[in-house]
């Protein structure tokens, strides 16, 4: 019976992981081919064209069919010079696209540490509530085990204990949507070291320590026990 429950929980976690990954809609080849103006320049990484076109302020935050601004397009395409040029022109660094993702969360989900570094240095916020799950970039990165991204977001003041609409924190997601491997262990350690609340429980009342034990994630259990988790 216990094995069956664990199997069901693992399946549910994988389903949520897949759903979260699919929630972001990157521009397709067809989208890119249809782009004009600043969207096209952002996709190509053409900073000179952005500088030339940016006096048309109304276009800086124009939306494509998925609500993506040129900045979102540049973040998906990892075009950092375009991001810098758009920021210099006054683009909104914290805009949300149709799926409620900002550029910071887009870079975080992609494990794109360099683009994230550029965005944060330009003043983009690590504190926004994003996605259909009412989460944060930190929660998204934690569930994927993107430990370097997690450390950047923590340093930028991301809320450590935000609870999403699944009733999960970044700490909980690093466990229930993780594989217990080295990167998820490093993610959990970064959150613990930053002072995340280790007693916030899921909707069923399970604490992070209980969740790690139930999954047999012994390395995570050791991290939590060493930090005094109950």
Q: Enumerate the domain spans of the chain.
A: 2-22+29-226
How distant is the alpha carbon of residue 223 from its chain centre? 23
Of 123 and 17, the one with more pLDDT = 123
Position 8 pLDDT exceeds 70: no
What's the rounded mean pLDDT across residues 72-92?
A: 97
What's the rounded mean pLDDT across residues 185-202?
A: 98
What's the rounded mean pLDDT across residues 100-106?
A: 98
pTM of the complete model beyond 0.95: no
Question: What local confidence, expressed as pLDDT, does residue 59 receive?
Answer: 86
Question: What local confidence, expressed as pLDDT, does residue 19 receive?
Answer: 52
Task: Convert the chain into a string of H (helix), E (strand) and C (coil).
Answer: CHHHHHHHHHHHHHHHHHHHHHHCCCCCHHHHHHCCHHHHHHHHCCHHHHHHHCCCHHHCCCCCCCCCCHHHHHHHCCCHHHHHHHHHHCCCCCCCCCCCCCHHHHHHHCCCHHHHHHHHHHCCCCCCCECCCCECHHHHHHHHCCHHHHHHHHHCCCCCCCCCCCCCCHHHHHHHCCCCCHHHHHHHHHHHHHCCCCCCCCCCCCCHHHHHHHHCCHHHHHHHHHCCCC
> Mind listing the pLDDT tens digit for each residue in 104-120?
999 999 999 999 999 99
DSSP assigned state of 148: H
Rounded distance between C-alpha atoms, residue 179 and residue 14, angstroms? 10
Question: What local confidence, expressed as pLDDT, does residue 175 receive?
Answer: 98
Of 171 and 19, the one with more pLDDT = 171
At 222, is the pLDDT very low, low, confident or very high (cuts 50, 70, 90)? Answer: very high
At 20, is the pLDDT very low, low, confident or very high (cuts 50, 70, 90)? Answer: low
Dihedral angle computed from the Cα positions of residues 225, 227, 228 and 230, in that order, rounded to the nearest 10 degrees? -60
At 16, is the pLDDT very low, low, confident or very high (cuts 50, 70, 90)? Answer: low
Q: Is 2-22+29-226 in CATH node 3.40.50.300?
A: no
Question: What local confidence, expressed as pLDDT, does residue 10 receive?
Answer: 47
| 191 and 207 Cβ atoms separated by less than 8 Å | no
Angle at 19 between CA 14 and CA 23, to 5 degrees: 150
| 35 and 66 Cβ atoms separated by less than 8 Å | no
């Amino acid at each position: 019976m216990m094995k069956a429950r664990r199997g069901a929980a693992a399946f549910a976690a994988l389903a949520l992981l897949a759903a979260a990954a699919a929630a972001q809609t990157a521009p397709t080849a067809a989208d890119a081919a249809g782009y004009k103006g600043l969207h096209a320049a952002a996709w190509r990484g053409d900073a000179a064209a952005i500088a030339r076109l940016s006096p048309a302020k109304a276009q800086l935050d124009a939306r494509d069919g998925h609500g993506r601004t040129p900045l979102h397009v540049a973040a998906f395409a990892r075009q950092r010079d375009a991001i810098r040029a758009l920021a210099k022109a006054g683009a909104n660094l914290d805009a949300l696209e149709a799926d409620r993702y900002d550029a910071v969360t887009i870079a975080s989900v992609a494990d794109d540490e360099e683009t994230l570094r550029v965005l944060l240095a330009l003043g983009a916020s690590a504190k926004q509530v994003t996605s259909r799950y009412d989460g944060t970039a930190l929660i998204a990165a934690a569930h994927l085990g993107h430990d370097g991204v997690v450390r950047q977001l923590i340093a930028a003041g991301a809320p450590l204990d935000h609870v999403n609409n699944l009733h999960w924190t970044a700490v909980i997601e690093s466990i229930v949507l993780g594989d217990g491997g080295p990167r998820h262990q490093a993610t959990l350690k970064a959150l613990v070291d930053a002072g995340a609340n280790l007693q916030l429980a899921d909707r069923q009342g399970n604490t992070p320590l209980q969740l790690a034990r139930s999954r047999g994630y012994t390395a995570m259990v050791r991290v939590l026990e060493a930090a005094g988790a109950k």
